[in-house]
Amino acid sequence: MKVKTKKAGQTGIKPTANVGFEQSYPHNERIITDNVAPKMFSGINGFWIKISKYSVIRDFIINLTEKMMPGGWSMFLVRKRYIDTKLIETITNSDHS
């Protein structure tokens, strides 16, 4: 039996793109800071992330996403921040064992 992994392998694209957009906010306004996320994209996703530095474009994209899926934009960011926090806690606690 062949395991289909193509769709599973793409599950991180949208949350990571959201984090990339998040990096265009001033540091003190971000939900999560990840300087690597914007660098992971090229092509159309990289283009949108690069132009998200313009607040009018960034706000348009975020508002459009929120209209299509209320709470959808922040859901990915908060989930990733929670996972990052738990990973850091686990690593820190394992260092003390």
Helix, strand or coil for residue 69? coil
pLDDT at residue 49, as a whole number: 92
The pLDDT tens digits for 43-81 are 998 999 999 999 999 999 999 999 999 998 888 888 888
Domains of the chain by residue range? 12-95
What integer is the mean pLDDT of 13-24? Answer: 88
Share of the chain above pLDDT 90, in %: 44
Taking residue 11's Cβ as centre, other Cβ atoms within 10 Å add up to 9
The overall average pLDDT reported for the chain is: 86
Question: Distance between CA atoms of 77 and 8, rounded to whole angstroms?
Answer: 19
